[in-house]
Amino acid sequence: MKTKIVIVLALALLAFINFSIWSYVNNPLQLQPWTKTTMGVTFNPMRKHDTQKNNSFPSEAEIEQDIILLSDKVHAIRTYSVLKGLYKVPELAAKHGLNITVGAWIDGDLEKNRQEIEALIQISRQNNPKIVRLMVGNEVMLRKDIPEEQLIEYLREVKKRTWRPVSTSETWDMWLAHPKLVNEVDFIGVHILPFWEGIAAEDAVDYIFSRYYQLQQAYPKKPIVITEVGWPSDGQPFKHATASISNQARFLREFLNRAAQEHLAYYIVEAFDQPWKMSIEGSAGAYWGIFNADRQAKYPMDDDVVTLPGWKHWATAAAVCSMVLMALFLFTRRSLKLPGILFFGLIANLAASTIFWSASIGAQQYQTKFTIAFWVILILMQVLAGIILLIESLEIVEVVWHKNSPRTFKPLTPTADFKYPKVSLHLPIHNEPPVMVRKTLEALAKVDYPNLEVLVMDNNTKDPAVWEPVRDDCERLGPMFRFFHLENWPGFKAGAINHALEQTASDAEIIAIIDSDYVLSPDWLKCLVPYFDNENVGFVQSPQDYRDLHLSFFKSFCYWEYAGFFNIGMMQRNEYNAIIQHGTMTMIRKSALLEVGKWAEWCICEDSELGLRLYEAGYDSVYVKDSFGRGLMPDTMSGYMTQRYRWVYGAMQIIKAHWRSFLPTKKSPLTPAQRYYFLAGWLPWFSDALALLFTLTSLALTALIISDPIHSELPVNAFLLPTIGLFTFKILRGLWLYQVRVPCSFWQSLGAALSGLSLTHTVAKGTIQGLFTTGKPFMRTPKYEKQSPLLAGLMIIWQELLLLILLGTGIWLMNSLDHFDNLSGRLWIAILSVQVVPYVATLVTLLISIAPNYRLRKADLSAEELDELTVVIDKKL
């Protein structure tokens, strides 16, 4: 009871910390207030569902609603067109006491231009004292829609046919570049928009006034009206300019107060957000309004500003989610110490907050059907990344802060009256070097066990020169050894050892399996067979170990990478009776094996699949971490990759065949812990597949960004957790757990991390192909394989090299884009840089594997000499 109270208090503390972080991030900004009436705003009454393309435009009633909303907040409005229902705006503005600058839209469509000009002149002749100015065109010179002479003709015509002040609107630099245009207007209508020039928000107002003064100096006799000035509240950044609620509020309040002091005439762009502008100006184009598209004020002008007004709801949801996650993971594990609970709780809170923070960003933005689908996919991928993060965090907690468990097994010493059950040891081989198999057979001949038979199953080796020496060795070693050569035999390795079952002595009670390269300790069977006295034990497992780690740096890295699984993963799984059975150094109760249906010939990981079926049948396992046999690791990068691909592909086959057993239902034949650890053990492979999907998505987005930086999105927040966060945590977790559980140096653990990273793409391919294809054949891991030359080695990893080149190119091009010379751009480059690391690791590991890392080159040795050298080195060490 006391422990539960402590856990509840700890979880409550973490939730409070989580809420406090949200509160700190959303701390109200205390800005200079604006309490006066704003001089003017640009006005477009289009709603969220209106676009220029679908010819959907606001009704007169909707326009009037907008004008009423603005009537007590601004003195004047400015329009850009007099067509498509906007000809009513001047009349409605006058009705509600607003001054208006009426604009005619001018572009390359001369016929439409004529309609705009005629409508503008007609409106200007109305008896409407609220019409204070006329604008002929907006940024026409900037867009280069028509020649300067054509625009001057329009201006002269309007001035000739009306008495009101006439001008056009251009950016400040266009006015400086077109002095002839200045001579034709009654005043200069200038746009000064620091955001689109990449000016930081804190420097923006000073920049506006510097440009304003520059125009005054250039044209001292012309009045100047700032016809567009503003800042977006959301969207992609532009160089050093960041769009945000806080930056918009800071900019507007500072500018409005200073403009009032200096008596400037201005129009804030704009009254209402215009989502349709995203297709023209990019995402930031939708968020320039003082009001959002639903006509709600984004923040008060005379009070504190909160970046995310609804942050308490999001923080509460994140806290509740993290509490649920902690409850699901932790209350089923009462053996965890308090520091572990706090550590896991902290990670759960951070993961939940990151996901909800990303969701809050998407919820604040204007979405299309496409962007909604995009955000849903990204959030789901974040959720999967969060689950992976939690599972890996729980592994740290269970390894570092786990209380002692009774499921710790050690080698046994049989009593004097122990009755030794007969063991039938099956040794499957296929096209293996005879000298290597001879070492294995000779070690078997020395096994200290009184009741043993050895069945050697040669499976489809074509060359008699390869399999006949093995047959001869079996005959030489005596009647305990029986050799079988199988021609055209189906089922690969599983088919061969199923045939061995049929040839097994009828009085055999235990089946033992080793690989053809394993040299056994004489006491393996004596030390582990006694565990079968417990009738519920279905199989007993000891770790794979290797004897050739000293031959090269490559093999040393591989050795310690393998060691992580056996010293960390298998040890933890054993605590919950959920180990993975692997097809060497394993013993199975024969009656249990026959009961569950022999070896699965459809699965290329028949060993792991059998272990799962034994669990489903209710049998227990025993894992003894002591090494009783040592084999040979793959000699080449190709062999290393092929072996891992087979393991991953086979695991996906198992998941597809046994998925019902993993469902959290009472009908599942597995215990909750077994379900969890099987899925958790495979989840890092899904993590690599997820990383590949994120990499491909990043490359596609980078290509879009480079081709069209203005209209492209950088979903940095959605990528931070699944890429930088997950990658960083994965590396730190591995190094941490290695120092706790694996008897190696820090540098050896770094080598293990390098070799593990080098398999990321291989694992991702195996996961995806395993889920969506069937029928991959058994892939043998060759031994005594000669190293390929460099070019052939590079061809083996051509996919990794292609992705490496594409990511490197993306980093270089992104770094050269001035548009993204900002935090978002740097974070995106960081994301691409993290994604490139596994492919660099693959290339580096390949180069290490083919480098001459020891004085005597292996390629110069025969197979027999190589094996002798391995034994000599191992004995010396």
**DSSP string of 498-537?**
HHHHHHS-TTEEEEEE--TT-EE-TTHHHHHGGGGGSTTE
Using the CB atoms, write b or e for 299-315: b if 16+ within 10 Å.
bebeeebbbbeebeebb
Of 696, 747, 770, 757, residue with least CA distance to 726: 757
pLDDT at 511 over 50: yes
| Residue carrying structure tokens 């850009």 | 80
Of 399, 379, 394, residue with least CA distance to 345: 394
- Identify which has the larger pLDDT, 365 or 518: 518
Return the structure tokens found at 402.
């786990």
Q: Which fold has domain 27-286?
A: TIM Barrel (3.20.20)
**Region of poorest pLDDT, from 352-361, 515-524, 803-812:** 352-361
DSSP states of 70-106 as a string? HHTTEEEEE-S-SSTTGGGHHHHHHHTT-EEEEEE--
Superfamily of domain 422-552+577-632: Spore Coat Polysaccharide Biosynthesis Protein SpsA; Chain A (3.90.550.10)
Structural element, H or E, at residue 638: helix 637-658
**291 touches 273 (CB < 8 A):** yes
Distance CA 46, CA 52 (A): 9
Share of the chain above pLDDT 70, in %: 93
DSSP states of 282-310 as a string? -GGGG---SB-TTS-BSS-SSS-B-SSTT
Structural element, H or E, at residue 333: none
Distance CA 125, CA 130 (A): 12
How far apart, in Å, are the Cα atoms of 240 and each of 59, 191, 200, 203, 365?
39, 19, 5, 10, 21
* Strands in 377-504 per DSSP E: 422-429, 452-459, 481-486
DSSP 8-state class, residue 171: E
What number is the average pLDDT over the span 570-595?
94
Contacts of 574 (CB under 8 A, 6+ apart): 407, 408, 409, 621, 623
Q: What is the pLDDT of residues 177-208, one digit of tens each?
A: 999 999 999 999 999 999 999 999 999 999 99
Return the structure tokens found at 109.
């469509």
Number of other CB atoms surrounding residue 57 within 10 Å = 17
Distance CA 77, CA 288 (A): 15
Return the structure tokens found at 691.
């990383």
**220 touches 179 (CB < 8 A):** no
Domain ranges of the chain: 2-24+309-400, 27-286, 422-552+577-632, 634-853
pLDDT recorded at residue 95: 95
How far apart, in Å, are the Cα atoms of 315 and each of 171, 366, 735?
42, 22, 32
**121 touches 76 (CB < 8 A):** no
**Region of poorest pLDDT, from 378-387, 479-488, 508-517, 646-655:** 378-387
Instruction: Name the H helices within 575-636.
Output: 590-596, 606-616
Q: What is the pLDDT of residues 299-346, one digit of tens each?
A: 999 888 888 888 888 888 888 888 888 777 766 666 677 788 888 888
Q: What is the pLDDT of residues 75-90, one digit of tens each?
A: 999 999 999 889 999 9
Contacts of 451 (CB under 8 A, 6+ apart): 420, 421, 422, 423
Number of other CB atoms surrounding residue 495 within 10 Å = 20
- Identify which has the larger pLDDT, 628 or 354: 628
Looking at the DSSP bridge assignments, the partners of residue 170 are 190
Considering only CA atoms, give the Rg of the chain: 37
| Residue carrying structure tokens 């974070």 | 827
Distance CA 469, CA 605 (A): 28
Contacts of 583 (CB under 8 A, 6+ apart): 493, 513, 515, 606, 607
Distance CA 399, CA 395 (A): 6
What number is the average pLDDT over the span 619-627?
96
Average pLDDT score, the chain: 89
Whether the upstream peptide bond of residue 270 has omega within 30° of 0, thus cis, is yes
- CA angle, corner 298, sides to 293 and 302, nearest 5? 145
Distance of CA 100 to the CA centre of its chain: 51
pTM passes above 0.75: yes
Q: What is the pLDDT of residues 759-817, one digit of tens each?
A: 999 999 999 999 998 866 655 566 555 666 778 888 899 999 999 999 999 999 999 88
How far apart, in Å, are the Cα atoms of 561 and each of 49, 309, 461, 652?
56, 48, 31, 21
**290 touches 252 (CB < 8 A):** yes
Distance CA 749, CA 738 (A): 6
Model confidence at 363, pLDDT cuts 50, 70, 90, reads: confident
Model confidence at 63, pLDDT cuts 50, 70, 90, reads: very high
Of 402, 390, 296, residue with least CA distance to 346: 390
**Region of poorest pLDDT, from 18-22, 510-514, 676-680:** 18-22
**562 touches 544 (CB < 8 A):** yes
Return the structure tokens found at 872.
């000599």
